[in-house]
Amino acid sequence: MQLLSTVNAVRQYVAAARRQQQSIGLVPTMGYLHEGHLSLARKAREQNDIVIMSIFVNPTQFGPGEDLERYPRALERDRELAAATGVDAIFAPAVPEMYPDGYATYVRVEGITEYLCGASRPGHFEGVATVVSKLFNIVQPDRAYFGLKDYQQAQVIKRMVIDLNIPVEIVTVPTVREADGLALSSRNKYLTPVQRQSATALYQALKKGAVLIRSGERRAEIVREAMVAEILSRPETRVDYVAVSDAQTLKPITTINKGKVLLALAVWVGNTRLIDNLTVEVADNVAHHDEEQATPG
């Protein structure tokens, strides 16, 4: 497996693959790989001749006071995991390679970034859209892979590639969960044992919301309140947001109608902010939650 750290090295690597008519899948990550990232890499491995994974803790998507400095990094371990999963090359640039002196260009997606994480983390999605569009321009992949744990991020990227005519297919992959439902995240590493126990409340709350909708509840506020109560019943938890939203526009809804509903939440567990979501397909009278579940094998 190749370890590439400059844009030029990636361009040369990609040009060689293209001369051999090879298709390219890109898996953008911030490293500290877990089974969720590896499920993206496996999907990319199935669908492309060459799999490139980027590992870059992107400073522009962290706000002031967020965890940029303490975000976990483990490049050696990541290299081994990526190689064992069939990744052909890692692109791990230093910050000045991506943002050299004089850097001044940012990509802003409007509308869907007003809600959920976009509302509580101003500038976050601008940083994500900027770095992902740079990665798309550097690698020029046929396909790129994103996990549905970051549902809003995946929607933002899909909107961006349509609006900017970027010729890449966006493939989304189901959230990978621990046996007790906690969605895998590099940030789970921050949790103390008590907090780790409390963190199961996120998925419990989502399931509670889905059950209420499935049993016919159509008032979003009732669903939301039940989810909030579930979270606050655990030690060291604080709600950032709990939302019942339209799964396309991400706009909060008041009445649950036929169609796809997104239950999304961000919760502080101690000093760690965790997110999760579930989509529920609502037919006229029956609803079923349609997240394909993936658990580590």
CB of 186 to ligand PAF, least distance (A): 8
Between 275 and 287, name the residue whose CB sits nearer to ligand PAF. Answer: 275
Distances (CA, A) of 33 to 40, 76, 120, 179: 11, 11, 25, 18
What does the angle CA 287 – CA 247 – CA 34 come to, to the nearest 5 degrees? 100
Which listed range, 8-16, 42-50, 71-79, 127-135, lies at the site for ligand PAF (CB under 6 A)? Answer: 127-135
Q: Closer CB to ligand PAF, residue 48 or residue 58?
A: 58
Taking CB under 6 A as the criterion, the residue among 10, 44, 128, 206 binding ligand PAF is: 128
**Shortest spacing between CB 279 and ligand PAF, in angstroms:** 18
Q: Which of 17, 41, 131, 139 binds ligand PAF (CB under 6 A)?
A: 131
Contact 48, 56 (CB under 8 A): no
CB of 250 to ligand PAF, least distance (A): 17
Question: Least CB distance from residue 18 to ligand PAF, whole Å?
Answer: 23
Q: Considering only 72-80, 87-95, 125-133, 202-210, which stretch makes contact with ligand PAF by CB under 6 A? A: 125-133
User: How far does CA 188 lie from the centroid of its chain?
Assistant: 14
Residues 44-73 that bind ligand PAF (CB under 6 A): 58, 61
Distance CA 142, CA 132 (A): 14
Closest CB to ligand PAF among 89 and 282? 89
Does the annotation mark 124 as catalytic?
A: no
Catalytic residue, chosen from 34, 37, 124, 288, is 37
Binding flags for ligand PAF, 18-37, as an x/- string (CB under 6 A)? ----------xxx-------
Q: Cβ closer to ligand PAF: 138 or 282? A: 138
Residue 35 vs 217, nearer CB to ligand PAF: 35
Residue 154 interacting with ligand PAF (CB under 6 A): no
Active-site residue numbers? 37
Residues near ligand PAF, by CB under 6 A: 28-30, 58, 61, 128, 131-132, 150, 153
